[in-house]
Structure 1
Amino acid sequence: MRELPQDRPYRFRPPVDRPWLNPLLRWVNRSVFLKRFYHVSSVECHGIERLEEAMRSKDAVVLAPNHADHADVHVLSEVTARVGIRPRFMGAREIFEAGAINAFALQSGGVFSVDRDGADIAAIKMALSILEAGDYPLVIYPEGEIYHHHEWLDPLHDGLASILLKVARKLPDNRRAWIFPIAFRFEYDGSVRETFPERVAALEKTIGWTPKEDLPVVERLYRFGPALLAVKEMEYFGETGTGDLAERLERLRERLLADVEGRHGKDVRSTTVPERVRAQRFRIRKALLDPENRPDPATRHRLLDDIKRIHVAYQVYSYPGVYLAEDPDDHRIAETLMKLEEDLLGKATYPVARKATIVFGEPIDVTRMLGAGELPAKGGAPELTAVLEEKLGAMVRQGDPTGLSGADSPSIVRGDA
């Protein structure tokens, strides 16, 4: 989970159509990001014809993928471009703040910003206008973050459902509203196994260990995890915890959150960990950027330290503690290493070729559900989110390689990345 700047004023960035730039953007996406940076050598796509049908009808379409990997945005852009569709993406404000060139490219590629920690009215209005027009599908990642355990689905936010329902209730009779659950999977070339020892050694050195080269990789990771956790426990609270790994992770996360909430106040409406994190980031950012009461250097230092504590709590939340133990195959080992590299070294490693599979599942007909009374006349976002979570969760679970159990046979589009 990348740590991004938290003390910059927010400015909404809309998508900007620059058709003359599209061929270059697609070439960069395929040749630079997919092939060179993320090592995605091939892409297999199932079921995209359903999306083509909906777009021909100018329906209101939201694409709801699991957030499996930093490459999934680039894979989705590639497969939709192959059939002449250019989605609009809702992207976290922080990715636009990496520089002017980055922001220019994102906006030209159909991405618009959203401040996830506040009520971003401009982003909501943009999302509504895209769906009302029906010219582009809108991509919203309902998990909100990349947790690097893509065979599990994390709890979904209901903002996606809330936005689509606002539009669905006002559509004319000749148009429908759909949610397309989309499942990503990334599979590594078998040679990835040969990269494990050196990468684990680099991680072990970050905590001052001599690499345990005589032990199997999985055992080294089982030892490294609790050791790293002990470092964080000592850093923030001066003592190490007891119990199994999952219990210690939960205890550290709760102590960090409670510590910050004790200074800035707890939002009673925020109950899940992601909601609590966003609520605290909003409050701390507001204090950092208050133009009338600018914090002095000492106060600013404390506020930034609290932001850091919140980030660590969120990192801890993203490690369930049992993902690798459940099935320690090459793919989960590689995912775990990528996650640790990103958190400790600042950059994940993609050392060998990977195959990406993207599946467009059976779409959820929101118009039909409203007409049949399956969703309440007002509200309905929690109920619709639960339907999406059930369908998308089934798609990402291991054992259903296409994610289309019970659906008609999909089309398959294969090709080099």
Structure 2
Amino acid sequence: MRRLRNDLPYTFRPPKVRWWVRPFLQWANRRLLLEKKYRIGSIDERGFGKVKELVDAGDAVLLAPNHADHSDPHLMMEIGSRHRMPLHFMGAREIFEVSSRASWALQSMGVFSVDRDGPDLSAIKTAIGLLADGVPLVVYPEGEIYHHHERLDPLHEGVASILLKAAGRLSDGRKAWLVPVGMRFHHDPAVESTFVGRLNRLEDRIGWTPRPSMPTRDRTIRLGTGLLGLKEIEFLGEAIRGELQDRLCGLCERLLGEVEERHGRDPKAGTPPERVRALRYRLRRRLLDEKEPALGEARAALLDDLDRVFTALQAHSYVGDYLLAEPTVDRHAETIMKLEEDLFGFPTYPTERRAAVAADDPICVSDLIESGELTKKEGAGVLTGVLEKRLTRLLASL
């Protein structure tokens, strides 16, 4: 999980589609990013013919993919290009803050920013407006990239809320649709030959003597457990004994609990990602308060709490039994990529991968509202539950 600055003022970046530059950006997305950077050698896709029909009919179509890899949005851009669908995207504010050129390119392709840690009304209004105008929109309901491609993390209800609001603005017989999209990546078997060298670099990074003779599975678990112990010592003062999953959950809960004691807990935040977002929002408001600016030790304490919250989310993002339960080549590769991102800032892609992408049968939200199966009060939760079941089933089929 990449550590991104979140103590900066936020400026909403709206979509600014520049049709004249789209062909070049689509080519660059395919050749420079998908093929060269992310090593996507082939894309197996299915189910997007029906999505195209709904888009051509002018209906409100929201595509909700799982979010397992940094190449996800680039893959969806390519699919939109193949089917001539003018896909727009809601993207995390941080990707716009990399550089002005990156922001310009993203906005040119129909991407707009969202502040995931607070009530970003500009992003919500933009999303509802696009859907009401018949522009297909891609939103990732997991919100973060966790690198475990076969399992979902809890979904945010914001995606369902946006579509429900957009459905209320439709007329002339137009309908609102939610399209679950499953995405998985399969590595070339040759990736296994890269594990030894990559684990060597990871071990060397933390000052360990590389152990290339050790079995890959044992070595990967040993490295991950060692990194967890370092984090426990950093924040808790000692390495904790116990099962890996219990330790991960314990570190996450302990860190969130400590920060919530100082800054309060949002009663509506239940899952660790929701608690993280609520805390980051409160901490950023305090850091950016111009009337009573936090200076010196007070500012340092707030930044330290941001680090604690980030580490809590890191611990949550690891599923302790993911590799242990089924040590396939793909799961080994995903785990090593995740460790590389945490230690080096970004994973490596040493061999080709095959992307499998499937659009499930679209869910007609308008019909569910009309039948009374979805209500304004509880509709977002119900629809999110349906989406989670559909995505879980899709991932198992890819």
Same fold at TM > 0.5: yes
Report the counterpart of residue 31 of structure 1 in structure 2.
31
- 1:312 and 2:311 correspond: yes
1:411 aligns with: none
Question: In 1, Cα distance between the equivalents of 2:267 and 2:100?
Answer: 38
Q: d(CA) in 2 for partners of 1:296 and 1:390?
A: 47
CA deviations 1:193-245 (Å, max 9, x no partner) are: 11000111111122221111111111101211221111111111111112100
Residue 57 of structure 1: aligned partner? 57
Structure 2 distance, partners of 1:277, 1:203, is: 27
1:373-384 maps to which residues of 2 (within 5 A)? Answer: 373-376=372-375, 378-384=377-383
Q: Distance in 1 between matches of 2:29 and 2:295?
A: 43
1:112 aligns with 2:112: yes
Partner of 1:413: none
| Equivalent AA in structure 2 for residue 177 of structure 1 | A
Matches within 5 A, 1:56-95: 56-95=56-95
- The 1-side partners of 2:7 and 2:245 are apart by 32
Instruction: Tell me the distance in 1 between the aligned counterparts of 2:79 and 2:131.
Output: 21
| 3-state SS of paired residue (2:180) | strand
Q: Encode CA deviations 1:106-126: one digit per residue, 9 max, x unaligned.
A: 101110001111111111110
Q: Which amino acid is 2:204 matched to?
A: K
* 1:296–1:378 distance in 2 versus 1, CA, 3 Å: closer
The structure-2 alpha-carbon separation of the partners of 1:377 and 1:17, relative to structure 1 and needing over 3 Å to count, comes to closer
Q: Structure 1 residue 152: deviation in Å?
A: 0.6
Could you say if the C-alpha distance between residues 229 and 377 of structure 1 is closer, same or farther in structure 2, counting changes exceeding 3 Å? closer
Note the C-alpha offset of 1:81: 0.5
Separation of aligned partners in 1, 2:23 and 2:250: 50
Residues 285-294 or 204-213, more deviating: 204-213
Extract structure 1 runs of 4+ deviating beyond 4 A. Answer: none
> What's the CA shift string for 1:360-382, capped at 9, x where partnerless?
11111111111222112544100
SS of equivalent to 1:19: coil
Q: Given the two structures, how large is their TM-score scaled by the length of structure 1?
A: 0.94
What is the DSSP-based 3-state SS (H/G/I as helix, E as strand, rest coil) of the residue aligned with 1:20? coil
Task: Write the mapping of 1:250-261 to structure 2, written as runs, cut at 5 A.
Answer: 250-261=249-260
CA distance in 2, matches of 1:179, 1:107: 24
Aligned length: 398
Contact 1:168 1:177 in 2 (8 A): yes
Residue 21 of structure 1 aligns with which residue? 21
Q: Deviations over 1:250-276 (max 9, x none)?
A: 111111111111111111221110111
Cα shift readout 1:8-42 (whole Å, capped 9, x = no counterpart)? 10000000021111111011101111111101111
CA distance in 2, matches of 1:108, 1:199: 36
Task: Return the letter of the residue paired with 1:297.
Answer: G
Write the distance in 2 (CA, Å) between the matches of 1:246 and 1:82. Answer: 42
1:176 paired to 2:178: no
Map of 1:133-172 to 2, 5 A cutoff? Answer: 133-134=133-134, 136-172=135-171
User: How far apart are the structure 2 equivalents of 1:80 and 1:267?
Assistant: 38
Unaligned runs of 5+ in 2: none
Structure 1 unmatched ranges of 5 or more: 402-417
Task: Supply the AA of the counterpart residue of 2:111.
Answer: V
Residues in 2 aligned to 1:238 and 1:362: alpha-carbon distance in whole angstroms = 51
Q: How does 1:350-369 map to 2 (within 5 A)?
A: 350-369=349-368
Q: Contact 1:205–1:211 at 8 Å: present in 2 too?
A: yes
State whether residues 162 and 379 of structure 1, in contact with CA within 8 Å, keep that contact through their aligned partners in structure 2. no
Aligned to 1:409: none
SS at match of 2:148: coil
1:169, distance to aligned residue in structure 2 (A): 2.7
Q: Secondary structure at the match of 2:173?
A: coil
Give the SS at the match of 2:241.
Answer: coil
Distance in 2 (alpha carbons) for counterparts of 1:114 and 1:56: 27
Separation in 1, partners of 2:352, 2:85 = 27
The residue that corresponds to 1:370 in the other structure is 369
How far apart in 1 are the matches of 2:316 and 2:75? 27
Q: Distance in 2 between matches of 1:112 and 1:383?
A: 27
